[in-house]
A and B are shown apart, each in its own frame.
Chain A
């Protein structure tokens, strides 16, 4: 299957700081990438759909000014959590869509802890 990487895998930051998470497709070009958030023992929650060269589409209830998404190339999308607060602590996972049947391959995830 297609390989997706994420960096960093774990980050701890102070409240009020901004954190950038990178998502890369390593062996294919991803026109569309997705950002999810998952709280402990809960299901995946789609935050936004990221398309190369255009603005991201955010799901209802997700603040676009707080979660900035940039999809600058066909292999890189970034999520920036701005002015992070403890309630933003979560497991953030990106995925990339491949093929006409919309298979999604996930990155390993980034665990964010805001103190």
Chain B
């Protein structure tokens, strides 16, 4: 069974520090990897997509993918209180469906 695993947290990070969120997945056939942010009571919002090994940066966000280790991470630099949310890792295992992790709850402490 194809799985995506995340540490559920909660992860607490001081404001201005780097938040590091990790995700592992079970299948080497995986093609596409996504990070979603979900505020309480809201729907998920796509914040990063990554498809090849290495780093991808977008503003304060950096996604890192290591297919050999089956590992994808999200770094948030200069963390802000508005970054407090649940972050969902999602993987496309070769078809249109996404398999989601259970999410990591991140709290940025002012």
Tell me the A residues contacting B by CB distance below 8 Å: 1, 32, 34, 43-44, 46, 49, 91, 93, 97, 101-109
Asked if residues A102 and B92 are in contact (CB atoms below 8 Å), the reply is: yes
Known: A97-B96, A101-B49. 18 other contacts (CB 8 A): A34-B98, A43-B88, A44-B88, A44-B100, A46-B97, A91-B43, A93-B44, A101-B51, A101-B92, A102-B95, A102-B96, A103-B46, A103-B49, A104-B98, A105-B46, A108-B42, A108-B43, A109-B43
On chain B, the residues within 8 Å of A32 by CB distance are: 96
The 0/1 profile, CB within 8 Å of A marked 1, for residues 45-64 of chain B is: 11001010000000000000
A115 to B7 Cα, complex, angstroms: 35
B interface with A by C-beta (< 8 Å): 31-32, 34, 36, 42-46, 49, 51, 88, 90, 92, 95-98, 100-103
Nearest residue, chain A, Cβ from B31: A101
- CB pair A107 B92 closer than 8 Å: no
A34–B97 CA distance with the chains assembled, in angstroms: 8
24 CB contacts below 8 A, A to B, read A34-B98, A43-B101, A43-B102, A43-B103, A46-B97, A46-B98, A49-B97, A93-B43, A93-B44, A97-B96, A101-B31, A102-B32, A102-B95, A102-B96, A104-B46, A104-B90, A105-B46, A106-B36, A106-B43, A106-B44, A106-B46, A108-B42, A108-B43, A109-B42
* Contact A103-B34, Cβ < 8 Å, known A43-B102, A46-B97, A49-B97: yes
A103 — nearest CB in chain B belongs to which residue?
B49
Name the A residues within 8 Å of B96 (CB-CB): 32, 49, 97, 102
**A1 touching B46 by the CB < 8 A rule?**
yes
- Given A43-B103, A44-B88, A102 and B98 contact (CB-CB distance below 8 Å): yes
Q: Which residues of chain A are near B46, meaning CB under 8 Å? A: 1, 103-106
Among B32, B45, B103, contact of A101 (Cβ-Cβ < 8 Å): B32
Cα distance, A102 to B103, chains bound together (Å):
20
CB neighbours (8 Å) of A109 from chain B are: 42-43
